[in-house]
Chain A
């Protein structure tokens, strides 16, 4: 199984808790014989590296340096994420699945799905509604729109808690069956993730 993980933070770039989580997950996946690529952002450390653990990391920077908001920064950076993922696809001939962490790289995952038939899992760490409660500016609505697109286009959604599962269901009307709850820090954590990947790949290939 060959999987690409999209995350906007990955060590050494640490913004919140996601970097550490994705890094641990990638190492565990490699141990369990999943070929794991991580595509992430870094301002200067761009290019492909293989970590001692076997995780392959591609770091891309934004070709547009001047920005007016996080939104314009994200929407331009997505093309580089797409380019990195497409390079992996064309070099290896096949990618089974993309696992996208939070909304930032949903646009790239959606294009790759439609262009190359790679299904994706949307792994939710947080939602715009909780990050910016009661903010209804066009800026927040656009981010919510991207989250909605992610839920709509994803083969499967994962959440870390049942509370998050019900929030996704409440805010975005995503059927609960589509949202898999996978609790980290348990023994079956990686096993559950791999099982979810396998189901998503199977479902994705049925669609195409």
Chain B
């Protein structure tokens, strides 16, 4: 091709709309792809105050009306939002001077829009499966969960290639939807260590004092307060850690388990040791990650584990549960500590081990940071993604659709 690759990505979140891990993934992936000569058009949901169309470092971002009438339920809203997304994306594509070469959808949340666009424009569809319903819910228990699972199956069926962010997810997705191995590609998620550079030589002592006494170690949790993230395992581990170390537990994020968790903390009489901070803005979050003596990721189901990667980039030591993508990110006692999944004693042991041993803590910091630079660099990830696009376009050009 004599012109740059032209890709349209669909996602239900893109900054400033941040709900989970897809939003930062979209942001850094699209920017790095643009740097590597790929023209990226992003179609995403609107957000109060964000423009309907803007160009960010060469990336075209379109924010569509995401259906604001009351919806019967979340899943129905997703399909209604997809109706608008598909309609808007269709008119954007029809007006572009160059045709779109590849549609790239992120998760089932944009499944029907992606599938529809593939067929009306007859261009290949790629999907990144960031997560699955069967994994999030640990099985399929309701009609809604089955419907979402079948939508995911349909999306992976329609996709030319399915990208997953860890070897664990490749196996999981292959099992969940019965896909052939050669349809799956592993491209890791990335992290940008540069965002912590500005804090490198700053004195954060005053900031730290807002959360903990000087003699208290900070144990940080960042994530939604939901079952799959295993936050209840960490809460149950609090008294066990406090037997050995004086620490403050800072919990960032919110979710349906919040009241339940703070009741447990109250019943243990440890309200002065556990802070529920709710949603924290980006600037303060970076500082907290920088101040933390240990970051804990106790997930029960974790396709990738971007929070662990961010902590490693902030040079905070990590304790993770030995599951999913986390198992691949952390080398036990080298770039972090792995605890048995769903095991309070094991998690408390890991946290205590890091907090009590300064030399161990420092060696983990250094090793983890090195691994970040080697394996999770966005530039490399963009190149791998680009190669995946080119492979698909090569195969497509020999098909009767071309």
Contacts from A to B (Cβ < 8 Å): 63-69, 71-72, 75-76, 78-79, 82-83, 86-87, 90, 107-108, 110-112, 114-117, 137-139, 141-142, 145-146, 149
Segment among B85-93, B176-184, B298-306 that sits at the interface with chain A: B85-93
Say whether B2 faces chain A, with CB atoms less than 8 Å apart. Answer: no
- Identify which of residues 57-76 in chain B touch chain A, using a CB-to-CB cut-off of 8 Å: 69-73, 75-76
Contact A71 B119 (CB under 8 A): no
Contact B82 A115 (CB under 8 A): no
Question: Contact check: which of A64, A78, A141 meets B151 at CB < 8 Å?
Answer: A64
Taking chain B's interface residues, is the majority helix, strand, or loop, or is none over half, making it mixed?
helix
Other A-B pairs, 4, CB within 8 Å; known A75-B82, A111-B87:
A72-B76, A79-B112, A107-B83, A115-B117
Say whether B260 faces chain A, with CB atoms less than 8 Å apart. Answer: no
- Among A64, A90, A141, find the residue whose CB has the most chain B CB atoms closer than 10 A: A64
Q: Which residues of B contact A72 (CB under 8 A)?
A: 75-76, 79, 147
Question: Contact check: which of A71, A108, A137 meets B79 at CB < 8 Å?
Answer: A71
Interchain nearest-CB distance for B263 vs A (Å) = 32
Question: Contact check: which of B112, B121, B147 meets A66 at CB < 8 Å?
Answer: B147
Say whether B359 faces chain A, with CB atoms less than 8 Å apart. Answer: no
C-alpha spacing A145/B70, complex, angstroms:
11
Interchain nearest-CB distance for A130 vs B (Å) = 20
Contact B150 A86 (CB under 8 A): no
Q: Would A142 and B80 be within 8 Å (CB), given that A64-B147, A79-B115 are in contact?
A: yes
Question: Contact check: which of B71, B90, B119 meets A79 at CB < 8 Å?
Answer: B119
Q: Which residues of A contact B93 (CB under 8 A)?
A: 115
- Identify which of residues 13-60 in chain B touch chain A, using a CB-to-CB cut-off of 8 Å: none
Say whether B375 faces chain A, with CB atoms less than 8 Å apart. Answer: no
Contact A76 B79 (CB under 8 A): yes
Contact B69 A141 (CB under 8 A): yes
C-alpha spacing A15/B17, complex, angstroms:
43
Q: Which residues of B contact A115 (CB under 8 A)?
A: 90-91, 93-94, 117, 120-121
Contacts from B to A (Cβ < 8 Å): 69-73, 75-76, 79-80, 82-83, 86-87, 90-91, 93-94, 112, 115-117, 119-122, 143-144, 146-147, 150-151, 154, 157
C-alpha spacing A83/B63, complex, angstroms:
25
Q: Would A69 and B72 be within 8 Å (CB), given that A75-B80, A115-B94 are in contact?
A: yes
Contact A86 B122 (CB under 8 A): yes
Interchain nearest-CB distance for A107 vs B (Å) = 5
Contact B69 A138 (CB under 8 A): yes
Q: Which residues of A contact B147 (CB under 8 A)?
A: 64, 66-68, 72
Contact A110 B112 (CB under 8 A): no
Find the B residue at minimum CB distance from A118. Answer: B120
Q: Which residues of B contact A110 (CB under 8 A)?
A: 83, 87
Q: Which residues of A contact B150 (CB under 8 A)?
A: 63-66
What are 11 pairs between A and B in contact, CB < 8 Å? A64-B154, A71-B79, A76-B154, A111-B117, A112-B120, A115-B94, A116-B120, A138-B70, A138-B72, A139-B72, A141-B69
Contact A82 B116 (CB under 8 A): yes
The total of Cβ contacts below 8 Å across the A-B interface reads 104
Q: Which residues of B contact A69 (CB under 8 A)?
A: 72, 76
Question: Contact check: which of B69, B120, B157 meets A142 at CB < 8 Å?
Answer: B69
Find the A residue at minimum CB distance from B152. Answer: A64
Find the B residue at minimum CB distance from A144. Answer: B69
C-alpha spacing A89/B396, complex, angstroms:
19
Q: Would A142 and B76 be within 8 Å (CB), given that A90-B122, A115-B93 are in contact?
A: yes
Q: Would A138 and B71 be within 8 Å (CB), given that A68-B144, A69-B76 are in contact?
A: yes
- Among B117, B120, B150, B154, find the residue whose CB has the most chain A CB atoms closer than 10 A: B120
Find the A residue at minimum CB distance from B115. Answer: A79
Contact B79 A75 (CB under 8 A): yes
Q: Would A117 and B94 be within 8 Å (CB), given that A67-B147, A78-B116, A111-B120 are in contact?
A: yes
Contact B83 A75 (CB under 8 A): yes
C-alpha spacing A75/B120, complex, angstroms:
16
C-alpha spacing A145/B73, complex, angstroms:
16
Question: Contact check: which of A66, A71, A137 meets B143 at CB < 8 Å?
Answer: A66
Question: Contact check: which of B69, B71, B72, B90 meets A111 at CB < 8 Å?
Answer: B90
C-alpha spacing A52/B177, complex, angstroms:
40
Contact B75 A68 (CB under 8 A): yes
Find the A residue at minimum CB distance from B79. Answer: A75
- Among A79, A86, A139, A146, find the residue whose CB has the most chain B CB atoms closer than 10 A: A79
C-alpha spacing A63/B153, complex, angstroms:
9
Find the B residue at minimum CB distance from A89. Answer: B120
C-alpha spacing A176/B290, complex, angstroms:
65
